[in-house]
Amino acid sequence: MEKLTIKSWALDDRPREKLIAKGKTSLSDAELIAILIGSGNREESAVALSKRILKSVNGNINELAKLSVEKLMEFKGIGEAKAIAIITALELGKRRQLEVALEKPKITSSKDVANLMQSIIGDLEHEEFWVLFMNNSNKVITKTQVSKGGLTATIVDVRLLFKRALELASVAIIVCHNHPSGKINPSSADKQLTEKIKQAGVTLDIKLLDHLIITQKDYFSFADEGIL
């Protein structure tokens, strides 16, 4: 039996082609690792092997990063070169995260938020809802997309939003979403969601600092307009 290489897979199962066609964020952790190792073994594809490696660490990338070359080589199909490739990629990711951590932007006004988010969601043709998780110095710990909707609406799970805030030990949040229509005025649904998030934050002692509606060239700030 010949070794199963990426070129022998069905088109939908080729992570390299998927990355080119759909972008890097469309790939699972296993697919990203599969690209690193290139091929599996006689019994399983690179993706299947990658899934098995991830399963051994309960899908935790941080735990995977702790594995030695020798430990990775215990998996059939992983030689020294492939083990080194995995370790190198994860170390680069770790260093990138450290650099990002050192570059936490400080938010002093709604304009700072707009400058940060306009290039990300300002010109999209669908709605996306993002949260900026803040520390007690008004610096952004991280920013996360919490939902993605259609042309006119997106649904936000407030419980998941605050679950993430608690995990990050965030003391405040700023939420924002875009209006593909280009209109910056909030809808009644926008106002209701803002109030819902604000009240949930009061209970958890996590303050909602602002809600921005962002378009390609303009923005609306609930805080600036005094309706937060």
Task: Convert the pLDDT of each residue in 47-94 to its tens digit.
Answer: 999 999 999 999 988 889 889 999 999 999 999 999 999 999 999 988
**C-alpha dihedral sign at 63, 69, 73, 78:** positive
The beta strand positions in the chain, using DSSP E, are 128-134, 140-148, 172-178, 207-214, 219-221
pLDDT of residue 1: 46
Inform me whether the pLDDT recorded for 8 exceeds 70. Answer: no
φ, ψ for residue 117, nearest 5 deg: -100, -20
Tens of pLDDT, residues 175-192: 999 998 888 899 888 999
Q: Residue 204 above 60 pLDDT?
A: yes
Kind and range of the H or E run holding 16: helix 15-22
CB 107 within 8 A of CB 174: yes
